[in-house]
Structure 1
Amino acid sequence: MMSRLVLVFLFVVQTNSLSVLTDDKSRATKTDGETVLVRQLLNQETLIRMALDRKVNDLVKGMADLKKNMETSNQQLQDAKREIETNKQQLQDAKRKIETNNQQLQDAKREIETNKQQLQDAKREIETNNQQLQDAKTEIAALKNENSALKAKWQVLSNLTTLLSDNLTTTINTVKESQHSQRELSSDVSSLQAFQKNMSVGAVKDTPVAFTAGITSSSSSWDGDILVFPHVITNKGQGYSSSSGKFTAPRDGTYVFTVTVVSYSTNHLRLDIVHDGVRKVRTYSHSSTHYQTGTNLVVLELDRGDAVWVKRYVGRGYYTYSVPLTTFSGFIL
């Protein structure tokens, strides 16, 4: 619009300049020759004005076309801006969708990790159950062995009872034949037994019996049968043997025995206190954590010569210090 105004202003200025020139000429010349010259100048001025009019019209038309082109360009620019805005919106939507997908991916990863952890926990539980099953099978096998041993002992006792019954019948028959002699012999034997008993009780009644033994060196791989406690702390009555690991009762009586064992690291270990081959009580050190302590105590009625020791049931290894952690003790009441 400003360019159009400038062109119109230039046209008016040029036209006024020519008009002033021709007007000055017509006042200055009064002769015929001058009149002809003035007409020629007027004709030239007219031609110039017509040429200028055409140029102005062309300029106006060019300005109109330029305006139309500018409006078209503006419209295209607006369309381009709207398209850019649309593309920006689509880009933002795409970014949000990517972020949503990333979040879903993170959630899926966390869920996978959770599932993995649950699977690991299930595997550990299955392993624990398998271990308990194996322990149960081992214990059942041991019980079966003990049952077989008891059956064998019962059979021996049954045979012995039969033999004793036969001997008793023979003896009764013999006694019936010589009752008088038997009564006298029985009286003498009773007197002798009472005398021997009084002498024996008097000799050993006040003799103390007590022991404590321990282990001062750890082992991660021990899986033997009898656990020997070589470090003797107390051994009144000399009933405990540090070489065999067994205690032999020096006299009849009621005894108390206790055992304490610390498992090596995460090893599983069970030990039994055994009386003449029969398992009485058991310690339990599980592998769920490090260095588990298993302990137990038993009160036993022992005859002179009965043996008591500590026997491995299942597992391996034990832990201790130079001052023993793993110990075996006993005493008479």
Structure 2
Amino acid sequence: MRATACTLFLLSLLWDSVRAENSISSLQMAAVSWEGELPCRKWDCECTFKNQRGCCCAATELQEAEDQIFQRVMELSACIFQLGDSIHEVIGGVRVAFTASMSQRKTCFGPFTRNSPIPYDVITLNHGSGYNPTLGTFTAPRSGLYSFALSVYSKVGGEGEKMYYKVQLMRNLEVVASTWEDNREDSEDSSTQTVLLSVEQGGQVYVELLSGRQLCGNVEGLNTFSGSLVYPSLP
């Protein structure tokens, strides 16, 4: 389309130079005798008239278009890197995770006259320092979605003794999950719970044993409490 426009424009100029002669031969002669710069803007008019089938008559414009596209791609690439840096700033630099277990006990934990947090005092992981082994409590260093898991194990001393425990996962003062056993048929038992919880910064999550219940025969690593930040809440 541009080649045609360029040609027509030049032809109109040539036609003005041969106003009285309107034959094709006169027009051809005028084109051959034309002197001066060809008014084809950024197009190659020599190519347009003589070598249109064998060359690109718009090479200059195409080169400029290529340069503009390359510049735009570089700008988009820079934006992508900036976005990646922003995402890393929001979530990449935040590491919050912990795993703790009850140390081995010769006596039972409980029973107590009121609900009591379980002291998971053997820490194997505490990124972000959110878990306090003294209190047995995790305090969220920032708001977000967290994953928590707990495992419970208990063993009675002899045949006919009652397996009697109930453990519940707490978010602040709210019960969010629990597991229990109440029978005389099993001499030992275990159970697990895994939950996803939204926790505000400063919110506390812990595991407690209900009053009147007990955990016995604990071997280190069988009663555990763990958690990790899945993703933080956006500002």
> Does the alignment pair 1:233 with 2:124?
yes
1:215 aligned onto 2:113: no
Check whether the contact 1:254–1:301 (CA below 8 A) recurs between aligned residues.
yes
State the identity %: 24
Q: 1:253 to 1:308 in 2, by over 3 A?
A: same
* In 2: Cα distance, 1:295 partner to 1:313 partner: 17
Q: 1:203 and 1:300 mapped to 2: Cα distance? A: 19
SS of aligned partner of 1:223: coil
Equivalent of residue 89 in structure 2, options 165, 178, 202:
202
Q: Give the unaligned 5+ runs of structure 2.
A: 1-85, 157-161, 231-235
Indicate the residue corresponding to 2:215 in structure 1.
Answer: 317
**What amino acid is aligned across from residue 94 of structure 2 in structure 1?**
T
Long gaps (5+) in structure 1: 1-198
CA distance in 1: counterparts of 2:91 and 2:193, whole angstroms: 29
Tell me the distance in 2 between the aligned counterparts of 1:252 and 1:331.
Answer: 12
Q: How does 1:41-52 map to 2 (within 5 A)?
A: none
**SS state of the match for residue 89, structure 2?**
helix
With over 3 angstroms needed to count, the CA separation of the structure-2 counterparts of 1:248 and 1:309, relative to structure 1, is same
- Please identify the structure whose Cα radius of gyration is greater: 1
Q: Partner of 2:150 in structure 1?
A: 259
Corresponding residue number in structure 2 for 1:276: 172
How many pairs align?
134
Runs (4+) of structure 1 exceeding 3 A deviation are 201-205
Task: Give SS of 2:180's match.
Answer: coil
Structure 1 or 2: more helix by fraction: 1
More strand by share: 2
- Partner Cα distance (2:195, 2:189) in 1: 21
Contact between 1:284 and 1:295, CA under 8 Å: does it hold in 2? no
311-320 vs 282-291, greater mean Cα deviation: 311-320
Q: What is the distance in 1 between the residues matched to 2:109 and 2:102?
A: 15
Instruction: Tell me the distance in 2 between the aligned counterparts of 1:233 and 1:282.
Output: 24
Deviation string for 1:19-56 (max 9, x for gaps)? xxxxxxxxxxxxxxxxxxxxxxxxxxxxxxxxxxxxxx
Per the normalisation by structure 2, the TM-score is 0.52
Task: Summarize the Cα distance change of 1:221–1:252 in structure 2 as closer, same or farther, 3 Å threshold.
Answer: closer
Q: Secondary structure at the match of 1:268?
A: strand
Give the counterpart letter for 2:146 in structure 1.
Y
